[in-house]
Amino acid sequence: MDITVLSIFPKMFQALNESLIGKAQEKGLVNLDVVDFRDFTTNKQNHVDDSPYGGGAGMLLQAQPIYDAMDYVEQKRPGKKRVVLLDPAGKTFNTKIARDFAKEDQLVFICGHYEGFDERIKDLVTDEVSIGDYILTGGELPTMNMIDATLRFVPGVLGNAVSAEDESFSNGLLEYPQYSRPADFRGKKVPEVLISGDHEKIRLWRLKESLRKTLERRPDLLNTVELNDEEKKLLREIRSEN
């Protein structure tokens, strides 16, 4: 997978050279390129922003530097691209979108700053995406968030391929509680079923606890996930216990 980021703060992305994302780059599973679109501005002051027509507070990112930077990206890496604009007004990023992004050969993220974008920039874009209903100073941190979440679904990035499937939100539910050694820590014991060696009982316990946690902490998720008969039965048990 090839990932290109357009940003005026390219040094922020050095963090992605660490941990699993760094290892994925070393293995050649992902190529990450950060392009400073300030390098493409044509004005003498090296500005990438200007005041909006019609007046108003703040400055807008101009179309010209980003268009020229995208021309450069296309020359360097020709082919179909998914172009993502980080925008608070965009659809909210989630696991489904991360899985979808992970199927692409080329992703481009455009990081905003200041008040917003010249609207004409959006003609370059396939997706406008947000990470939530709040405002940050720029699109760099949300972009790193999305890259990290996306690459977890790229084969070979995680050491255990099952990990991404078992985690919260991967099946629409929150993840079940997990424990490690020792089995008894300061009187707090691991549930007996987890050390029983009975894989079917462990599977059912994990599924039930996943449903329980979702019901307690994010009941809204139960309105969006399609439960099978087994899950419906377990959910009825949980509700009767409560």
Which residues sit in the known binding site for S-adenosyl-L-methionine? 112, 131-136
CB burial of residue 186 (10 Å; 0-12, 13-18, 19+): exposed
Binding annotation = 112, 131-136
C-beta atoms surrounding 48 within 10 Å: 23
Strand ordering across the sheet containing 31-36: 31-36, 2-7, 106-110, 82-92, 127-130
> Cα(205)–Cα(137) distance, rounded to whole angstroms?
43
For residue 16, the 8-state DSSP code is G
In the block, which residue shows the tokens 């992902």? 30
Reading the block at residue 226, the tokens are 């399609």
β-bridge mates for residue 32, sequence order: 3
Instruction: Determine the residue type at 18.
Output: E
> Cα(214)–Cα(36) distance, rounded to whole angstroms?
42
β-bridge mates for residue 84, sequence order: 109, 127
CB burial of residue 8 (10 Å; 0-12, 13-18, 19+): buried
